[in-house]
Structure 1
Amino acid sequence: MTPPARAIVIDRPGEHRLLTGPRPEPGPGEARIAVHAAGICGSDREVYDGTRQPEYVRYPVTPGHEWSGTVDAVGEGVAPALVGRKTVGEGIRPCLACDRCREGTTSLCTSAYDETGFTRPGAFADFLLAPARLLHPLPDDTDLRAAALLEPAAVSAAAVLAGEPRIGDRVAVVGAGTLGLLAVQLLAAYSPGELLVVDPRVSRAEQALAMGADRIRTPEESRAVRGRFDLVVETAGAPSTAQDACLLARRGGRTVLTGMFEPGAEGIDPVHLAVSQLTIRSVFGAPSSAWSFAVRALAAGLLDPAPLITHELPLTGFGEAIGLVGSGDPAVGKVLLTP
């Protein structure tokens, strides 16, 4: 007899339950994935707290957009050879018909927002259904625990690609959270002339030294090197970090904003922007090209997300896990649920 499948369901903000029922069956074009691990991020905490904008969540919902697993079954029209493959998958479900999708920038799809873990059932479950076209199969020897972080790695990859790093560039990364530390690893592969990490949490920033950074500074200390860097990648989303990132860039330099800013964040000085002739890019989510970049970097050994994982809990520990993510404890890195 097939054992039942479990899933965390958030019925409304602050209320969740462990639902048990039959395994979901893949429809045409879909694959069913046996989830190995799923990461919890700040946006999942927003769903739980009810602070995510209403158009970006649909209750009741099973969260979980950062995940890894193995294809367990496929629906009509999907190659049977996919069964048994280790995989990760894109969460945003682009229409593939609008102008932005047709030019390859699928993260800018102009159709209605639709994403696994927010408007569709996600990976805080034993099994997940996903469109097969959004899967990125992995090499057989891939560490699925580390691969669960490929979703944030794809966002960091999108930021790195947007910044167009060049060999020998002086590079700064503002923020030593998950996105920042993953960006450091990817940027280190370009052999920068200098790679600085800026974060007020010295213990977190020190992790970057083992991942390719040359040195670390607090935001206050970084004022002494303003105007020095060819490329600055901002990943923190703190009130002052967009402005700080622009001030770190040299005249004619490049700045990429990746953090999720709250209303009231300090703006970028338009006089400084114009006089310094800065190039500013922003990143939200990741197109398919960035996913492919991150998957290749993992397979090549240039990216290792595993050291960022600090806690692993079962599905029944969801309440504790979501509390860790919102605790503000600098000792809490990436938290995984392992069905």
Structure 2
Amino acid sequence: MKALRFEDERLRLADVPAPSREGEAVVRVRLAGVCNTDLEIVRGYAGFRGTLGHEFVGVIERAPGAAELKGRRVVGEINAGCGACALCRAGDSRHCPARTVLGIRGRDGAFAEALQLPAVNLLPVPDEVTDERAVFCEPLAAACAIIERVNVTEEMRVAVVGDGKLGLLCAQALKVLTGARVTLVGKHTSKLRIARRRDIETFKIEELPPSFDRAFDVTVEASGSPRGF
């Protein structure tokens, strides 16, 4: 099958064997998203070598032990734990020290005709959700995880720093799910315009008022850069 590989410090389209990891599901990829993490890997982040890509939607071709999933359209949790350590046994495989991570750590990713993950990692997509929306599930889940960790209420003010894809998703998720007043801070006029169309207050970095750093109850750093702090 065809796959986009990062090897020998360069990207190349390669013919590679079909997924064959025993006991795992095989997913035929329908659509994959490009994340800034993919770009950073090409620049040297994480030392990954192999098939890139971790945002995807696809159809299950094979699912050992879960035959009822065959043919289902799915997205996936990208962290695959060892299944044996204390964290995995406690249901927290995302922090397993021996985990593989789709397209990032020890596991070929979604920029290919097919990928493999444990069946337990795969989540069916409702019929009414298009591929173009479902492919955002992985970064949107990261945005929604903020609300699991921080009690954000509608009377609070929240700042999101960084107007990339994750920052835009964080700002929208916080506004819609909590009703809080959200302000997005970034560098790109075109991206900030997207947020304003959704009634989210925006500022360019160079336009911040002096009182800005003390105006918020919660700040979300989504720039991925030390300068964001």
- Name the TM-score, length of structure 2 as normaliser: 0.88
Give the % identical residues.
32
Task: List runs of 5+ in structure 2 lacking aligned partners.
Answer: none
Partner deviation per Cα, 1:210-241 (whole Å, 9 max, x = no partner): 3341x111223333333121121110023332
**Structure 2 residue 10 is matched with structure 1 residue 24:** no
1:193 CA drift (Å): 4.4
8 Å CA contact retained: 1:165, 1:190: no
Structure 1 pair 240–107 and aligned structure 2 pair: CA distance change class (3 A): same
Match runs of 1:11-50 below 5 Å: 11-19=7-15, 23-25=18-20, 27-28=22-23, 30-49=24-43
> What do you get for the CA RMSD once the two structures are aligned?
2.2
Match runs of 1:268-287 below 5 Å: none
Task: List runs of 5+ in structure 1 lacking aligned partners.
Answer: 243-339
Hey, what's the Cα distance between the residues in 2 that align with 1:71 and 1:26?
Answer: 15
Structure 1 pair 177–20 and aligned structure 2 pair: CA distance change class (3 A): same
8 Å CA contact retained: 1:180, 1:235: yes
8 Å CA contact retained: 2:27, 2:114: yes
- The aligned residue for residue 167 of structure 1 is 154
1:26 CA drift (Å): 6.2
Hey, what's the Cα distance between the residues in 2 that align with 1:74 and 1:114?
Answer: 19
8 Å CA contact retained: 2:4, 2:11: no
- The aligned residue for residue 98 of structure 2 is 112
8 Å CA contact retained: 1:160, 1:183: no
Hey, what's the Cα distance between the residues in 2 that align with 1:226 and 1:10?
Answer: 40
1:165 CA drift (Å): 1.0
1:32 CA drift (Å): 1.2
Match of 2:207 among 221, 234, 237: 221
1:178 CA drift (Å): 0.7
Hey, what's the Cα distance between the residues in 2 that align with 1:6 and 1:237?
Answer: 31
Hey, what's the Cα distance between the residues in 1 that align with 2:54 and 2:79?
Answer: 9
Count of matched residue pairs: 227
Runs of 4+ in 1 over 6 A off after TM superposition: none
**Structure 2 residue 55 is matched with structure 1 residue 66:** yes
Match of 2:183 among 196, 199, 203: 196
Hey, what's the Cα distance between the residues in 1 that align with 2:78 and 2:180?
Answer: 35
8 Å CA contact retained: 1:200, 1:218: yes
1:103 CA drift (Å): 4.4
Match runs of 1:4-15 below 5 Å: 5-15=1-11
Partner deviation per Cα, 1:232-279 (whole Å, 9 max, x = no partner): 11100233322xxxxxxxxxxxxxxxxxxxxxxxxxxxxxxxxxxxxx
Partner deviation per Cα, 1:191-218 (whole Å, 9 max, x = no partner): 43421111122221121123341x1112
Hey, what's the Cα distance between the residues in 2 that align with 1:53 and 1:126?
Answer: 24
8 Å CA contact retained: 2:184, 2:203: yes
8 Å CA contact retained: 2:82, 2:99: no
What SS is found at the alignment partner of 2:94? Answer: helix
Structure 1 pair 85–26 and aligned structure 2 pair: CA distance change class (3 A): farther
Hey, what's the Cα distance between the residues in 1 that align with 2:90 and 2:176?
Answer: 27
- The aligned residue for residue 45 of structure 2 is 52
Match runs of 1:79-228 below 5 Å: 80-109=67-96, 111-118=97-104, 119-213=106-200, 215-222=201-208, 223-228=210-215
Partner deviation per Cα, 1:261-316 (whole Å, 9 max, x = no partner): xxxxxxxxxxxxxxxxxxxxxxxxxxxxxxxxxxxxxxxxxxxxxxxxxxxxxxxx
Hey, what's the Cα distance between the residues in 2 that align with 1:197 and 1:209?
Answer: 9
1:20 CA drift (Å): 5.4
